[in-house]
Amino acid sequence: MLERYFRLRQRGTDVRTELTAGLTTFMTMAYIIFVNPLILSNIPGLKHSVPALAAGTCLAAAVPTLLMGLWTNTPYALAPGMGLNGVLAFGVCLKNGVPWPTAMGIVVVEGLIIALLVLTRTREAIMNAIPLSLKQAISVGIGLFITLLGMVNAGLVKMNSPAAPLTYGSFHDKAVLVATAGLAITLILFTLRWRSALLLGIILTTLIALAARVAVPPKTLLTQPDFSTFGKANVLAALNPALWATILAFIMSDFFDAMGTIIGVGRQAGLVDKEGRLPRLRDILFVDGLAAMWGGICGASSTTTYIESASGVGEGGRTGLTSAVVGVLFLVALFFAPLVSVVPAQATAPALIVVGFLMLAHVREIPFERLEESLPAFITLISIPLTYSIARGIGYGFIAYLLLLLARGRWREINPLLVVVSALFALSFTLE
């Protein structure tokens, strides 16, 4: 039944591989169950709502991830997005004094607009209008981004130090030693081509972390879900004209963050054709748009396609069964959140680093001999990790691409959609 529904053999996979891939993706992104509530709890009125925000986060991830797997048959997992949750909490609510229900209403509205853009085929047209060289660069940039996330989580790279924007970590830190041991184990297993190398690396590193007391065993296994923050989004208040600029900024960020992830992970999974196009792209994008709305309804910020989906793809996941497993595990996590919290960031860091290496291979496909294409590609791939924003990197790349095509007199080759999107990027940059 699973073979027939998910077309496993056609994708060159099997049930065991998909189950392992789903578990790997879940363990790599499960941190969001705890990080998202801690960020949102800074919003006035939510300080004592961490359990409810955690339940909302699980629900916001589980439903769209299951929908993605069962409807589109692709290995993408979704959850409330890091970055937008911080902007929502600190920029919109704390800085501008927007009430929490209104902020969730903004998320619902931006998700609705994104979903409408899919129904009108606008989002699909924009995605297909992206030049192949930039699609390749997005894949590489996301690989570098994933690697940087892994290095930071491992403590091997420190950010925002007094000496430099980026610097090295200290091996006097016990957590760094644990992550380094985990990285060594994962690299060896991966090089020896062990099945489930990434998942085994996560499990073994977690055990090392427990032994070194970097991770702490849970005091209890079960918890009762609290849904008191569900369904509180105030959509009517979010339609206030004073908030339209905020909605536009959220649309641009969510729209292109997800688009970049879909391109990058899709290429890594071998789901794209020679022109970089994905089958069932419209369905994938529509689920992503609905997910943003659902995240606002759940009171968990905007839900989006997760970059950590690449870890499951790196483990061999190729179908929606991978996503279905992730969705089920998020539902289970509603009741077993304390157990999930045992896995520290140091345990998942090695998997992210290895997946970043795998995605870097796409750099070979960029046409470096054509400067008007390779220079924007370079700006894209380097800006994504260094700005910590997929959308920023894509925006910089679009603008550079248009500029260089005009400089070469190739303006007839410019897709009008790219001009419109680049103008919107420029506008959104000035509004931030």
36 and 115 housed in the same domain = yes
In a domain, 415, yes or no: yes
In a domain, 369, yes or no: yes
Count the helices and strands in the chain (H runs, E runs). Answer: 19, 4
Q: What is the distance of C-alpha 371 from the center of its chain?
A: 30
Cβ-count burial 330-360 (b if 16+ within 10 Å, e if not): bbebbeebebbbbbbbbbbbbbbbbbbbbbb
**Residue pLDDT, tens place only, 51-95:** 899 999 999 999 999 999 999 999 999 999 877 888 788 888 988
Question: Domain ends where: 343, 374, 409?
Answer: 343
120 and 24 housed in the same domain = yes
Lowest mean pLDDT among 125-129, 169-173, 428-432: 428-432
For residue 70, give the DSSP letter: I
Q: 394 is in which domain, residue-wise?
A: 364-431
337 and 371 housed in the same domain = no
315 and 386 housed in the same domain = no
Name the 3-class secondary structure at 80.
strand
Least Cα distance to 390 among 214, 260, 234 occurs for 260
* Per-residue pLDDT at 376: 95
Gap between the Cα atoms of 394 and 346, Å rounded? 29
304 and 411 housed in the same domain = no
In a domain, 152, yes or no: no
370 and 318 housed in the same domain = no
Least Cα distance to 296 among 48, 42, 114 occurs for 114
In a domain, 213, yes or no: no
Gap between the Cα atoms of 346 and 391, Å rounded? 27
Gap between the Cα atoms of 300 and 176, Å rounded? 31
Question: What residues are paired with 79 via a beta bridge?
Answer: 304
126 and 231 housed in the same domain = yes
Question: What residues are paired with 168 via a beta bridge?
Answer: 157
In a domain, 122, yes or no: yes
232 and 91 housed in the same domain = yes
298 and 385 housed in the same domain = no
119 and 228 housed in the same domain = yes
Overall number of domains in the chain: 2
More confident residue, 359 or 432: 359
Q: How large is the average pLDDT for residues 369-379?
A: 93
In a domain, 168, yes or no: no
**Residue pLDDT, tens place only, 239-298:** 998 898 888 878 888 888 888 888 888 888 888 877 667 888 899 999 999 999 999 999
Gap between the Cα atoms of 170 and 168, Å rounded? 7
Name the 3-class secondary structure at 399.
helix
114 and 27 housed in the same domain = yes
Least Cα distance to 200 among 34, 33, 319, 350 occurs for 350
Gap between the Cα atoms of 152 and 421, Å rounded? 32
Q: How far apart are the first and last CA of the chain?
A: 50
Instruction: Determine if the pTM surpasses 0.85.
Output: no
Lowest mean pLDDT among 207-211, 367-371, 386-390, 399-403: 386-390
Q: Which helix (H) or strand (E) holds 395?
A: helix 390-407
76 and 126 housed in the same domain = yes
Q: How large is the average pLDDT for residues 301-310?
A: 90
In a domain, 71, yes or no: yes
In a domain, 408, yes or no: yes
